[in-house]
Structure 1
Amino acid sequence: MASLKEIDTRIKSTEKMKQITKAMNMVSSSKLRRAESNTKQFAPYMEKMQDAITAVAGANKNSSHPMLQQREVKKSGYLVITSDQGLAGAYNAGVLKNLLNDIKSKHERADEYEILVLGQTGVDFLKNRGYEVKGSIVDIADQPSFKSVQAIAKKAIDLYGDEEIDELNIYFSHFVTVLENKPSKKTVLPLSPEDSSLGHGQMSSYEFEPDKESILSVILPQYVESLIYGTILDAKASEHAARMTAMKNATDNATELIDDLSLEYNRARQAAITQQITEIVGGSTALE
């Protein structure tokens, strides 16, 4: 059995750890509320973008814009969204597992795909396993601005526009509820007919100048950038929720451990007192 001093030291260290995890839980809770607010505020912009795309692309079925054209997939592009820091439970594991499973099942050589990464965890994970990262952004803010992630979105779009890749898939953790996030993936490029008809057609009666093809060449890249940014906001909300849940579980485990250690401490203390009484009684008896 451990000594009283050792048990007391463990109790104190666990209490300090509990204070840290409880504080991190509260911080993550606050960040989650802001992340959910950001997602809701971004939704009206996406709705208007979808209306515009539906009005322009939906009416122009024969558009030759490359983002609307399906082509043979010779090289795939993967955009992976992970966190910069740990302590978020299995948040990153599910996303990276899905990515590696798809790469192994679809490709035999490294020149058949390109990988773009957001988040230091993903960069370290892939590089340590020998994968080449074409581009990355790390140290992403907890509440990312559009400008801060626009560079990686533009790089992905340029890779597709220059025909260096023939499709772009995003791997991320989708925010479902505070207690649930789901590792997900979605194809962003090329835009499917469903993607270009998500709007409500409220602009269908508008007249566009100079012509719809010129408008598509400007608005489609912006739309794809918006899709990527919206996915990043979703992933950030999922990250904060995962970290909040992980810290709550850690706090609960610390509380349980403190209770067990306190019980062990009391038993050890009672045993020590009993032994002292026994020694005193034994010594008194020997003197009689």
Structure 2
Amino acid sequence: MSDTLASLRGKISGADKLKSVVRTMKAMAASSIGQYENAVQSLGDYERTVTLGLSACFRQAGPVVTPHFQQNEHKVIGAIVFGSDQGLVGQFNDVMGRFVMDKLDKLPGEKKIWVVGERLHAILGDANLPLFGPYGVPNSATAITQLVGRIQIDCEAHRPHSEFDYDQETIYVFHNAPLSGSQYQPVCQRLLPLDAEWQRNITAIPWPTKNLPEAIGMKTGRESETGNELLRALLREYLFISLFKACAESLVSENASRLAAMQRAEKNINELSTVLSRTFYRLRQNSIDEELFDVVAGSNALGNKVR
């Protein structure tokens, strides 16, 4: 009986320690969610500035992106996919893995996939997809910039030799986007090509003041395809913002999923602790009762002998 009580004491102590770890992870996940949500919100003003800059360039220079994008069976489909390095995130990586495979199966052409997160990289690797990476998941909002820079450099290394062909490639970005509460959903965004339709949408953005903008150094006509450093810089920033936002939203979703998983774990631990405590007190009471019965029985036996 004493060994059983000792075992229960150990289990109760272990549950308390595990509960402490879960609470710490909950606090870290909640703090991370706020950090990455603030990063997305703070990016809004910069995104608007870059978009207005592109609008000004297109208004002044005219068509600078080739108006056609040729579909062919030999084209390369690029995909940048955001997952997680760590576990305890529920179905976060499994949902994204199935979503990516379903989407890419419907797209013709050779595939090249850049994967962020070891867990998702393993899932997609089991499907025999052509993968690059994995890239480590950022552990803070400031680390997102470095990750996005690395992805952009690696993607540039696999691009055609043309320096200004943002309208001649196809790249998609896959990530989990946060919904209300701890919910999220996988989304797919076409990052490239920046074709004529995209250009028209950017050009149609109304200018916020009555003073018309002027993009200094912009060139018009055919020379604009190779001579506009300003436009190329804005396009790179536009792509950077899109990737940064996707990464930050993925991190919000990951930590929301981890927070929900930790809340479920804490509930299960509390229920287990309650069961263990009740079992422990019941067994201890049974042990006390048996000892009292032995004392009473011994006292009665001694009394009978005295008589």
1: CA distance between counterparts of 2:131 and 2:293? 70
**SS state of the match for residue 134, structure 1?**
strand
* Equivalent of residue 260 in structure 2, options 225, 245, 248: 245
- Show the counterpart of 1:206: 213
2:30 is equivalent to residue 29 of structure 1: yes
Encode CA deviations 1:151-189: one digit per residue, 9 max, x unaligned.
Answer: 2023335545558x9411111111223422222211111
The aligned counterpart of 2:132 is 134
For structure 2, list consecutive stretches of 5 or more residues without a partner in the other structure.
none
Structure 1, gaps ≥5 residues long: none
C-alpha distance in 2, partners of 1:229/1:197?
22
Q: What percent of counterpart residues are identical?
A: 20
Taking the TM superposition and a 5 Å limit, the aligned residue runs for 1:141-180 are 141-143=139-141, 144-157=143-156, 159-162=158-161, 166-180=169-183
Match of residue 264, structure 1, among 268, 279, 295: 279
2:239 counterpart residue number? 224
TM-score normalised to the size of structure 1?
Answer: 0.84
Offset of residue 121 of structure 1: 1.9
Q: Please, what TM-score do these two structures have when normalized by structure 2? A: 0.79
Residues 84 and 140, structure 1, Cα contact 8 Å, conserved in 2: no
2: CA distance, partners of 1:246 / 1:225: 31
Query: SS of the residue aligned with 1:155?
Result: helix
Distance 1:58-1:12 versus aligned 2 partners, 3 A rule: farther
Please say if residues 174 and 234 of structure 1, whose CA atoms lie closer than 8 Å, have aligned partners that are also in contact: yes
- Aligned-residue Cα RMSD (Å) equals 2.9
Aligned pairs, number: 282
CA gap of 1:157–1:188, structure 2 versus 1, over 3 A, is farther
1:245 CA drift (Å): 2.4
Bigger Rg over Cα: 2
Equivalent position SS for 1:78: strand
**Structure 2 vs 1, CA of residues 201 and 19 (structure 1 numbering), >3 Å: closer, same or farther?**
same
Range 6-15 or range 201-210, more displaced: 201-210
One-letter amino acid of the structure 2 residue matched with residue 270 of structure 1? Q
Partner of 1:185: helix, strand, or coil? strand
